[in-house]
Amino acid sequence: MSIARRTAAVVVPLALVVGGVWYGVSRHASSTEDDSIGLCTTTVKGRSVVLTATQARNASLISAIAIRRGMPAHAATIGLATALQESKLYNLRGGDRDSLGLFQQRHSQGWGTPEQILDPVYATNAFYDALTKVPNWASLPVTEAAQEVQRSGYPSAYAVYEGDARALASALTGYSPASFWCHLPRPRAAPPPATRRAVGLRESLAPAFGPVEVRVGSGNRIELAASSPARGWAVASYLVAHAAQLGISTVGFRDREWSVESNRGWRHASDSATADSVVIG
């Protein structure tokens, strides 16, 4: 996959390159700059989707909230396809008429106040609330389910993003292990004490996953409980997507480890974590 390097920055990416999809923002880059820094990659069954870090954080939130609500990965696929079409996974502060946010929900249509709609957690839950009211939504094709919620003037547009949404949902809900990673610079500041860090992680994860057991293990390493392999990979992927905000340098689960400075994804590291815990550094 090649990523075009351009000299002008834009606020919202509108172009779509099909076949190894790039949804990111055009950025200025010198000849010595690594264009992959700040980007996140999902590769599932030969399909690659590259997002900016901002897009990846929103995608991981949409997927995590589906898990917290006990919804199948199909729900996350519908949510992601909708957000890709409506906002390219950016929390937009404007749109057609009074449309706002990830799903371009409208205050005038009863989706909530503008402040609520611009809260990605609220907006995602509002989307899933509406989805669950659609008869037989779990068995509907992605495009039909999305259209039943959104009532778009372009109902077939969601189909364009279905393949990418499926890949993202599979990786971010944990069904395709070690399939999502980001290439990020190492945090500049030293992490806070382990106990304070654990409290901060619990608070950060709660809106997405609900209560998550976070403990301080031997050697002051931070461990997050994983009730199943899929749950562990979902949490691990979410932490990777939010690594810059949470001051995380490494994430380990089962026999794999991810590091912020690597653009080679997850590497084998048999001692990186226990079978039932996600470990961060």
Cβ neighbours of residue 32 closer than 8 Å, sequence gap 6 or more: none
- The answer to whether residue 178 scores a pLDDT higher than 60 is yes
Kindly report, residue by residue over 62-96, the tens digit of the pLDDT: 999 999 999 999 999 999 999 999 999 999 997 77
Question: Which of 37-41, 55-59, 103-107, 215-219 shows the lowest per-residue confidence on average (mean pLDDT)?
Answer: 215-219
**Residues 241, 57: contact at Cβ < 8 Å?**
yes
Mean pLDDT of the region 152-175:
91
Mean pLDDT over the full length of the chain: 86
- The answer to whether residue 32 scores a pLDDT higher than 50 is no
Cβ neighbours of residue 114 closer than 8 Å, sequence gap 6 or more: 98, 100, 107
